[in-house]
């Protein structure tokens, strides 16, 4: 039952759980016309930590031509992976000992969310069926006939930028 629940509802800290919480009122800010609401105020530094303690992507950085700012460097510790969306593309952003890598967020096997997987060194493992990928070149370590898309990453100040 645990696997089926994870398959349908997503992982505890995954993007589907966050979206469901926002849609169902679990912590999302109510901006309906029935309440008093004003636009957010950015009085603190642009890269100050958000309420959750995770820094938001810096707003004061101009990314290189063709790149999009996707994250603050401090938002992803070494050995961690997270899902980001840039230009309508879901990307799994990985930090391997301070070096950032970006790959498609979709597993080639069963379209599992790689951003919710586990990262061991430069190997990212899908949470659904355990298919593993080398994030440096997108090669599948489970089935050598398939691979995933990799994206070029650039660091500008505190910003992690991905070429789309």
When pLDDT is cut at 50, 70 and 90, the band that residue 24 belongs to is confident
pLDDT in tens, 97-131: 999 999 999 999 999 999 999 999 999 999 999 99
| Structure confidence at residue 86 (pLDDT) | 93
Backbone angles phi, psi at 29, to 5 degrees: -75, 130
Of 46 and 138, more confident = 138
Residue of higher predicted confidence among 33 and 149: 149
Residue 28 has pLDDT above 70, yes or no: no
The superfamily (CATH) of domain 56-164 is Rieske [2Fe-2S] iron-sulphur domain (2.102.10.10)
- The mean of the pLDDT values for the chain is 84
The stretch 67-91 carries a mean pLDDT of 95
Confidence bin at 155 (pLDDT 50/70/90)? very high
Is residue 16's pLDDT more than 50?
Answer: yes
Question: Which tokens belong to 122?
Answer: 């430069």
Pairwise CA distance, residues 10 & 102, whole Å = 21
Predicted confidence at residue 1, as pLDDT, reads: 57
More confident residue, 143 or 7: 143
- pLDDT over 90 for what percent of the chain? 63
pTM to 2 decimal places: 0.69
- Residue 163 CB contacts under 8 Å (≥ 6 apart), including other chains: 64, 66, 67, 151, 152, 153, 154
Domain ranges of the chain: 1-29, 56-164
The answer to whether 86 and 162 have CB atoms below 8 angstroms apart is yes
Considering the chain, what percentage of its residues have pLDDT values greater than 70?
A: 79
**Can you read off the two tokens belonging to residue 18?**
């966050």
């Amino acid at each position: 039952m645990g696997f089926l629940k994870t398959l349908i509802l997503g992982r505890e800290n995954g993007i589907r759980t966050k979206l469901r919480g926002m849609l169902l009122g679990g912590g999302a800010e109510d901006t309906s016309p029935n309440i008093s609401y004003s636009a957010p105020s950015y009085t603190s530094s642009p890269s100050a930590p958000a309420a959750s303690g995770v820094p938001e992507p810096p707003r004061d950085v101009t990314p290189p031509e063709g790149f999009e700012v996707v994250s603050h460097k401090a938002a992803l510790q070494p050995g961690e992976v997270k899902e980001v969306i840039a230009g309508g593309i879901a990307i799994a952003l990985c930090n391997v000992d301070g070096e950032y890598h970006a790959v498609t967020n979709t597993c080639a096997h069963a379209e599992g969310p790689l951003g919710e997987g586990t990262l061991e060194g430069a190997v990212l493992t899908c949470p659904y069926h355990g298919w593993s990928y080398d994030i440096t070149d997108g090669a599948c370590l489970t089935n050598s006939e398939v691979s995933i898309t990799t994206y070029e990453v650039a660091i500008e100040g505190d910003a992690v930028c991905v070429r789309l």
